[in-house]
Protein backbone atom coordinates (compact mmCIF):
# COMPACT_ATOMS: atom_id res chain seq x y z
CA UNK A 1 0.00 0.00 0.00
CA UNK A 2 1.25 3.49 -0.76
CA UNK A 3 2.52 5.12 2.43
CA UNK A 4 5.56 6.91 3.85
CA UNK A 5 7.67 3.77 3.45
CA UNK A 6 6.86 3.26 -0.20
CA UNK A 7 7.40 6.96 -0.94
CA UNK A 8 10.85 6.76 0.63
CA UNK A 9 11.58 3.49 -1.18
CA UNK A 10 10.57 5.00 -4.51
CA UNK A 11 12.75 8.06 -4.04
CA UNK A 12 15.74 5.99 -2.96
CA UNK A 13 15.28 3.62 -5.88
CA UNK A 14 15.09 6.38 -8.49
CA UNK A 15 18.04 8.24 -7.02
CA UNK A 16 20.05 5.03 -7.06
CA UNK A 17 19.63 4.98 -10.84
CA UNK A 18 21.25 8.36 -11.27
CA UNK A 19 21.25 11.97 -10.13
CA UNK A 20 17.70 12.84 -11.15
CA UNK A 21 15.83 15.84 -9.84
CA UNK A 22 12.12 15.75 -9.03
CA UNK A 23 11.57 17.70 -12.25
CA UNK A 24 13.36 14.91 -14.11
CA UNK A 25 11.15 12.35 -12.37
CA UNK A 26 8.10 14.09 -13.81
CA UNK A 27 9.55 14.33 -17.30
CA UNK A 28 10.47 10.66 -17.18
CA UNK A 29 6.93 9.72 -16.17
CA UNK A 30 5.37 11.69 -18.99
CA UNK A 31 7.78 10.09 -21.46
CA UNK A 32 6.97 6.64 -20.11
CA UNK A 33 3.25 7.30 -20.46
CA UNK A 34 3.65 8.37 -24.10
CA UNK A 35 6.09 5.64 -25.09
CA UNK A 36 4.92 2.62 -23.11
CA UNK A 37 1.14 2.62 -23.52
CA UNK A 38 1.64 0.42 -26.54
CA UNK A 39 -1.26 -1.21 -28.33
CA UNK A 40 -1.32 -4.93 -29.13
CA UNK A 41 -0.32 -5.81 -32.68
CA UNK A 42 -3.91 -6.78 -33.52
CA UNK A 43 -5.45 -3.92 -31.54
CA UNK A 44 -9.19 -3.55 -31.91
CA UNK A 45 -10.66 -0.16 -32.76
CA UNK A 46 -12.28 1.17 -29.60
CA UNK A 47 -14.99 3.55 -28.44
CA UNK A 48 -14.28 5.57 -25.31
CA UNK A 49 -16.27 7.99 -23.18
CA UNK A 50 -16.49 9.58 -19.77
CA UNK A 51 -19.46 8.26 -17.80
CA UNK A 52 -21.29 8.93 -14.54
CA UNK A 53 -22.53 6.03 -12.43
CA UNK A 54 -25.13 6.32 -9.68
CA UNK A 55 -24.16 4.60 -6.42
CA UNK A 56 -25.78 4.51 -2.97
CA UNK A 57 -23.50 7.41 -1.99
CA UNK A 58 -23.69 9.68 -5.02
CA UNK A 59 -22.45 9.93 -8.60
CA UNK A 60 -19.11 8.40 -9.60
CA UNK A 61 -17.13 9.75 -12.54
CA UNK A 62 -15.45 7.02 -14.59
CA UNK A 63 -13.91 6.14 -17.95
CA UNK A 64 -15.49 3.46 -20.14
CA UNK A 65 -13.73 2.05 -23.22
CA UNK A 66 -14.56 -1.00 -25.33
CA UNK A 67 -14.11 -2.44 -28.82
CA UNK A 68 -16.12 -0.43 -31.34
CA UNK A 69 -18.34 -3.36 -32.28
CA UNK A 70 -19.70 -6.49 -30.69
CA UNK A 71 -20.13 -7.62 -27.10
CA UNK A 72 -17.17 -8.39 -24.85
CA UNK A 73 -16.35 -9.54 -21.32
CA UNK A 74 -16.21 -6.63 -18.90
CA UNK A 75 -13.34 -5.56 -16.67
CA UNK A 76 -13.60 -3.25 -13.66
CA UNK A 77 -10.37 -1.37 -12.88
CA UNK A 78 -9.57 0.12 -9.46
CA UNK A 79 -6.67 2.62 -9.76
CA UNK A 80 -3.99 3.30 -7.17
CA UNK A 81 -4.07 6.08 -4.58
CA UNK A 82 -3.49 8.79 -7.22
CA UNK A 83 -6.84 7.91 -8.73
CA UNK A 84 -8.32 8.10 -12.22
CA UNK A 85 -5.92 9.97 -14.51
CA UNK A 86 -4.33 9.79 -17.99
CA UNK A 87 -2.07 6.85 -17.10
CA UNK A 88 -5.02 4.70 -16.09
CA UNK A 89 -7.08 5.80 -19.07
CA UNK A 90 -4.18 4.65 -21.28
CA UNK A 91 -3.99 1.32 -19.45
CA UNK A 92 -7.75 0.84 -19.73
CA UNK A 93 -7.66 1.61 -23.43
CA UNK A 94 -4.84 -0.87 -23.97
CA UNK A 95 -6.92 -3.57 -22.28
CA UNK A 96 -9.96 -2.68 -24.40
CA UNK A 97 -7.83 -3.04 -27.53
CA UNK A 98 -7.31 -6.66 -26.46
CA UNK A 99 -11.05 -7.28 -26.53
CA UNK A 100 -12.53 -6.16 -23.21
CA UNK A 101 -15.16 -3.62 -22.14
CA UNK A 102 -13.23 -1.70 -19.47
CA UNK A 103 -14.55 0.58 -16.74
CA UNK A 104 -11.94 2.54 -14.76
CA UNK A 105 -13.45 4.33 -11.78
CA UNK A 106 -12.71 7.28 -9.51
CA UNK A 107 -12.91 5.65 -6.07
CA UNK A 108 -12.75 9.10 -4.42
CA UNK A 109 -15.89 10.44 -6.09
CA UNK A 110 -17.57 11.14 -2.76
CA UNK A 111 -15.27 14.10 -2.15
CA UNK A 112 -13.34 14.75 -5.38
CA UNK A 113 -13.88 14.40 -9.08
CA UNK A 114 -10.90 13.23 -11.12
CA UNK A 115 -8.14 14.19 -11.46
CA UNK A 116 -7.33 13.93 -7.78
CA UNK A 117 -3.92 15.56 -8.19
CA UNK A 118 -3.39 18.64 -10.35
CA UNK A 119 -0.76 18.60 -13.07
CA UNK A 120 2.67 18.82 -11.47
CA UNK A 121 1.51 17.53 -8.08
CA UNK A 122 3.03 14.31 -6.76
CA UNK A 123 2.64 11.64 -4.10
CA UNK A 124 6.24 12.48 -3.20
CA UNK A 125 5.05 15.81 -1.77
CA UNK A 126 4.35 15.17 1.96
CA UNK A 127 1.33 17.49 2.04
CA UNK A 128 -0.27 15.87 -1.01
CA UNK A 129 0.60 12.42 0.28
CA UNK A 130 -1.15 13.05 3.59
CA UNK A 131 -4.24 14.33 1.78
CA UNK A 132 -4.38 11.25 -0.43
CA UNK A 133 -3.85 8.88 2.47
CA UNK A 134 -6.66 10.59 4.37
CA UNK A 135 -8.96 10.09 1.37
CA UNK A 136 -7.96 6.45 1.14
CA UNK A 137 -8.61 5.86 4.85
CA UNK A 138 -12.07 7.40 4.50
CA UNK A 139 -13.05 4.48 2.29
CA UNK A 140 -14.12 1.32 4.09
CA UNK A 141 -14.85 -2.33 3.32
CA UNK A 142 -18.52 -1.30 3.20
CA UNK A 143 -17.97 1.50 0.66
CA UNK A 144 -15.75 -0.81 -1.40
CA UNK A 145 -18.53 -3.38 -1.47
CA UNK A 146 -21.44 -1.07 -2.27
CA UNK A 147 -19.39 0.62 -4.99
CA UNK A 148 -18.37 -2.73 -6.49
CA UNK A 149 -21.98 -3.88 -6.69
CA UNK A 150 -23.05 -0.61 -8.34
CA UNK A 151 -20.22 -0.72 -10.87
CA UNK A 152 -20.73 -4.38 -11.81
CA UNK A 153 -24.47 -3.82 -12.19
CA UNK A 154 -23.79 -0.77 -14.40
CA UNK A 155 -21.47 -2.80 -16.60
CA UNK A 156 -24.11 -5.49 -17.03
CA UNK A 157 -26.51 -2.89 -18.43
CA UNK A 158 -24.13 -1.80 -21.21
CA UNK A 159 -24.68 -2.96 -24.76
CA UNK A 160 -20.97 -3.58 -25.27
CA UNK A 161 -20.83 -6.10 -22.41
CA UNK A 162 -21.34 -9.81 -22.99
CA UNK A 163 -23.26 -10.80 -19.86
CA UNK A 164 -22.95 -14.48 -20.74
CA UNK A 165 -19.24 -14.23 -19.84
CA UNK A 166 -17.68 -13.56 -16.46
CA UNK A 167 -16.31 -10.16 -15.41
CA UNK A 168 -12.68 -9.47 -14.51
CA UNK A 169 -11.39 -6.92 -12.04
CA UNK A 170 -7.94 -5.44 -11.59
CA UNK A 171 -6.54 -3.23 -8.85
CA UNK A 172 -3.30 -1.36 -8.26
CA UNK A 173 -1.91 -0.45 -4.83
CA UNK A 174 -5.01 0.38 -2.74
CA UNK A 175 -7.12 -1.11 -5.54
CA UNK A 176 -5.71 -4.60 -4.94
CA UNK A 177 -7.79 -5.39 -1.86
CA UNK A 178 -10.85 -3.78 -3.45
CA UNK A 179 -10.74 -6.40 -6.21
CA UNK A 180 -11.10 -9.09 -3.56
CA UNK A 181 -14.11 -7.36 -2.04
CA UNK A 182 -15.55 -7.03 -5.55
CA UNK A 183 -15.07 -10.75 -6.23
CA UNK A 184 -16.70 -11.64 -2.90
CA UNK A 185 -19.60 -9.22 -3.37
CA UNK A 186 -20.43 -10.51 -6.86
CA UNK A 187 -19.23 -14.13 -6.94
CA UNK A 188 -21.76 -15.06 -9.61
CA UNK A 189 -20.30 -12.44 -12.00
CA UNK A 190 -16.61 -12.01 -11.18
CA UNK A 191 -14.55 -14.80 -12.70
CA UNK A 192 -11.06 -13.33 -12.46
CA UNK A 193 -9.21 -10.84 -10.27
CA UNK A 194 -5.73 -9.37 -10.38
CA UNK A 195 -3.82 -7.32 -7.81
CA UNK A 196 -0.70 -5.42 -8.86
CA UNK A 197 1.49 -4.17 -5.99
CA UNK A 198 -1.64 -4.26 -3.85
CA UNK A 199 -1.36 -3.62 -0.14
CA UNK A 200 -3.31 -5.01 2.80
CA UNK A 201 -4.50 -8.18 1.05
CA UNK A 202 -3.75 -10.36 4.07
CA UNK A 203 -3.71 -8.72 7.50
CA UNK A 204 -4.50 -9.71 11.08
CA UNK A 205 -7.66 -7.59 11.07
CA UNK A 206 -11.10 -9.25 11.17
CA UNK A 207 -11.99 -7.51 7.88
CA UNK A 208 -8.87 -8.64 6.03
CA UNK A 209 -9.64 -9.23 2.32
CA UNK A 210 -8.07 -12.69 2.33
CA UNK A 211 -10.83 -13.89 4.67
CA UNK A 212 -13.29 -13.33 1.81
CA UNK A 213 -11.61 -15.88 -0.46
CA UNK A 214 -14.07 -18.71 0.46
CA UNK A 215 -16.90 -16.53 -0.92
CA UNK A 216 -15.20 -16.01 -4.29
CA UNK A 217 -15.46 -17.98 -7.51
CA UNK A 218 -12.68 -16.03 -9.20
CA UNK A 219 -9.29 -17.18 -10.37
CA UNK A 220 -6.55 -14.81 -9.22
CA UNK A 221 -3.27 -13.18 -10.14
CA UNK A 222 -1.39 -11.52 -7.28
CA UNK A 223 1.73 -9.66 -8.44
CA UNK A 224 3.72 -8.47 -5.41
CA UNK A 225 6.43 -5.79 -5.36
CA UNK A 226 9.77 -6.87 -3.94
CA UNK A 227 9.87 -4.08 -1.34
CA UNK A 228 6.30 -4.87 -0.24
CA UNK A 229 7.34 -8.49 0.22
CA UNK A 230 10.36 -7.41 2.24
CA UNK A 231 8.10 -5.39 4.53
CA UNK A 232 5.58 -8.23 4.98
CA UNK A 233 7.05 -11.55 3.80
CA UNK A 234 4.32 -13.65 5.45
CA UNK A 235 1.49 -12.11 3.40
CA UNK A 236 2.14 -14.16 0.27
CA UNK A 237 2.11 -17.39 2.27
CA UNK A 238 -1.14 -16.45 3.98
CA UNK A 239 -2.68 -15.76 0.58
CA UNK A 240 -1.43 -19.03 -0.89
CA UNK A 241 -2.84 -20.98 2.04
CA UNK A 242 -6.19 -19.19 1.85
CA UNK A 243 -6.62 -19.74 -1.89
CA UNK A 244 -5.56 -23.38 -1.57
CA UNK A 245 -7.97 -24.00 1.31
CA UNK A 246 -10.81 -22.56 -0.77
CA UNK A 247 -9.70 -24.57 -3.81
CA UNK A 248 -9.42 -21.36 -5.85
CA UNK A 249 -6.73 -21.05 -8.57
CA UNK A 250 -4.22 -18.31 -7.78
CA UNK A 251 -0.90 -17.27 -9.28
CA UNK A 252 1.04 -15.45 -6.56
CA UNK A 253 4.48 -14.12 -7.38
CA UNK A 254 6.97 -11.59 -6.06
CA UNK A 255 8.29 -9.52 -8.97
CA UNK A 256 11.83 -8.04 -8.97
CA UNK A 257 10.40 -4.51 -9.06
CA UNK A 258 9.37 -1.73 -6.70
CA UNK A 259 5.90 -0.85 -5.41
CA UNK A 260 4.18 0.99 -8.24
CA UNK A 261 6.10 -0.68 -11.07
CA UNK A 262 2.99 -1.35 -13.21
CA UNK A 263 1.59 2.21 -13.26
CA UNK A 264 2.72 4.00 -16.41
CA UNK A 265 3.38 7.32 -14.71
CA UNK A 266 5.13 5.94 -11.63
CA UNK A 267 8.74 7.02 -11.03
CA UNK A 268 9.58 3.34 -10.54
CA UNK A 269 7.72 2.10 -13.64
CA UNK A 270 9.53 -0.99 -14.94
CA UNK A 271 8.53 -1.73 -18.52
CA UNK A 272 10.02 -5.22 -18.61
CA UNK A 273 8.33 -6.39 -15.42
CA UNK A 274 5.13 -4.47 -16.18
CA UNK A 275 4.87 -6.15 -19.57
CA UNK A 276 5.43 -9.54 -17.92
CA UNK A 277 2.66 -8.86 -15.41
CA UNK A 278 0.40 -7.61 -18.24
CA UNK A 279 0.99 -10.83 -20.18
CA UNK A 280 0.01 -12.88 -17.13
CA UNK A 281 -3.16 -10.76 -16.80
CA UNK A 282 -4.14 -11.43 -20.42
CA UNK A 283 -3.45 -15.13 -19.92
CA UNK A 284 -5.71 -15.18 -16.84
CA UNK A 285 -8.52 -13.31 -18.58
CA UNK A 286 -8.16 -15.45 -21.69
CA UNK A 287 -8.89 -18.54 -19.60
CA UNK A 288 -11.16 -17.36 -16.77
CA UNK A 289 -13.37 -15.01 -18.82
CA UNK A 290 -13.68 -17.28 -21.86
Per-residue pLDDT band for 255 (boundaries 50, 70, 90) equals: very high
* DSSP codes of every residue in the chain: --SHHHHHHHHHHHHHTS---HHHHHHHHHHHHHHH-PPPTTPPPEEEEEEEEEETTEEEEEEEEEESSS-B-EEEEE--TT-S-HHHHHHHHHHHTTT-EEEEE-TTTTT-PSPSS-TT--TTSHHHHHHHHHHHHH--HHHHHHHHHHHHHHHHTSTTB-TTS-EEEEEETTHHHHHHHHHHH-TTTEEEEEEES---SS-SSTT-GGGGGGG---EEEEEEEHHHHHH-TTHHHHHHHHHHHTT--EEEEEESS-TTTTSTT-TT--HHHHHHHHHHHHHHHHHHT-
% residues pLDDT > 70 (the chain): 87
Looking at residue 123, its pLDDT comes to 87
pLDDT tops 70 at residue 38: no
Model confidence band, residue 271 (pLDDT cutoffs 50, 70, 90): very high
Q: Does residue 14 carry a pLDDT above 80?
A: no
- Domains, in order of start, for the chain: 4-288 (3.40.50.1820)
Q: What confidence tens digit (pLDDT) does each residue in 195-224 have? A: 999 999 999 999 999 999 999 999 999 999
Instruction: List, for residues 46-56, the tens digit of each pLDDT value.
Output: 999 999 999 99
User: Residue 191: its pLDDT value, please?
Assistant: 98
Amino acid sequence: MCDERTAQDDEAFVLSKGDLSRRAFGAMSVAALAACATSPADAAAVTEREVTITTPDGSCDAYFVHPASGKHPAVLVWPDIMGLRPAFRAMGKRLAQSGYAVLTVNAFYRTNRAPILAEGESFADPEKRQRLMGMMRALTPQTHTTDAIAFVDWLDRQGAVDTSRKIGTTGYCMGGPITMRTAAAKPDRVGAGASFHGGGLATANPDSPHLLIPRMRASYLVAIAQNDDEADPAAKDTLRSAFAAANRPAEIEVYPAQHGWCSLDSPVYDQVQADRAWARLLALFGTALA
